[in-house]
């Protein structure tokens, strides 16, 4: 049990290596003071362009890939591995949202969740990404599309027959709730009619 706790802590610390804040230190900026104030990929794209945002996304995805694919399996029997994998994946996402290295003020978690799904359930990741694209085309809001993508994963797991105690279904449900919570400001702006429909403008920036 102690070894499992250490793995979860290690996954959380990996998650706390926030891409935008790490790269921001190299150029002398903290993007939490710019744009939307969020330390995630969308704000990185908005404030510093495509190359910076790409670096941020790579870091934020790869850290959960490492947590699930490398940290979780070390020395574990097959029977317990699925639970440890989802625990490490969840810890990495929480670390991204609430990084100990950056005053517990991080991003909103979706890129890191994508990395976890890439290892845990590639088909679910495909569903998440397709849902995100379709929702973005239909509504134009990145935050709303992200929430839709996160919710699509547990729906997919349920539709393919996952039981209520299945680790992937529980992981998907908890992560969807976390993504909804971290996007609560987007939900408030959508309700108030002040959310920006801005994705095309972001893609058209030249840097």
Residue ranges of domains in the chain: 2-203
Average pLDDT of the residues of the chain: 89
Residue 176 has pLDDT above 80, yes or no: yes
Instruction: State the Cα–Cα distance between residues 95 and 64, nearest whole angstrom.
Output: 10
Percent of the chain with pLDDT over 90: 60
Asked if residue 39 lies in contact with residue 112, where contact means CB atoms within 8 angstroms, the answer is no
Q: What per-residue confidence (pLDDT) applies to 207? A: 39
Is the Cβ–Cβ distance between 17 and 63 less than 8 Å?
yes
| Alpha carbon distance 172, 8 (integer Å) | 17
**Do residues 87 and 4 lie in contact, with contact meaning Cβ atoms separated by under 8 Å?**
yes
Whole-number Cα distances in Å, 61 to 22, 33, 41 = 14, 23, 11
Instruction: Identify which has the larger pLDDT, 44 or 154.
Output: 154
What is the share, in percent, of the chain residues with pLDDT greater than 70?
Answer: 94
Mean pLDDT to the nearest integer, 71-88: 86
Cα 1 to Cα 164: distance, rounded to the nearest angstrom: 24
pLDDT at 147 over 70: yes
- pLDDT reported for residue 102: 87
Out of 41-45, 78-82, 129-133, give the one with best mean pLDDT: 129-133
* Stated length of the chain: 207
| Residue 134: C-alpha distances to residues 108, 153, 158, 166, 191 (Å) | 20, 15, 21, 28, 21
Tell me which residue of 62, 38, 64, 40 sits closest to 52, measured CA to CA.
Answer: 40
**DSSP 3-state assignment of 196?**
coil
Distance (Å, rounded) from C-alpha 195 to C-alpha 77? Answer: 47
Phi, psi for 109 (deg, rounded to 5): 100, -15
Separation CA 80–CA 21 (nearest Å): 34
pLDDT at 78: 64
pLDDT for residue 8 is more than 50:
yes
């Amino acid at each position: 049990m102690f070894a499992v706790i250490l793995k979860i802590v290690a996954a959380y610390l990996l998650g706390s290596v926030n891409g935008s804040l790490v790269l921001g230190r190299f150029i002398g900026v903290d993007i939490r003071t710019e744009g939307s104030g969020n330390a995630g990929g969308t704000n990185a794209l908005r404030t510093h362009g495509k190359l910076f945002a790409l670096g941020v996304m790579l870091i934020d995805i790869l850290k959960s890939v490492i947590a699930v694919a490398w940290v979780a399996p070390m020395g574990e029997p097959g029977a317990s591995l699925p639970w440890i994998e989802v625990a490490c994946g969840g810890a990495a996402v929480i670390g991204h949202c609430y990084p100990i290295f950056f005053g517990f003020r991080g991003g909103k978690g979706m890129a890191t969740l994508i990395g976890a799904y890439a290892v845990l359930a590639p088909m679910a990741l495909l569903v998440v990404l397709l849902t995100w694209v379709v929702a973005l085309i239909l509504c134009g809001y990145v935050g709303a599309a992200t929430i839709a993508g996160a919710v699509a994963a547990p729906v997919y797991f349920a539709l393919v027959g996952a039981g209520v105690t299945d680790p992937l279904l529980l992981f998907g449900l908890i992560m969807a709730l976390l993504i909804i919570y971290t996007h609560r400001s987007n939900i408030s702006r959508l309700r108030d009619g002040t959310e920006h429909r801005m994705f095309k403008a972001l893609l058209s920036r030249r840097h």
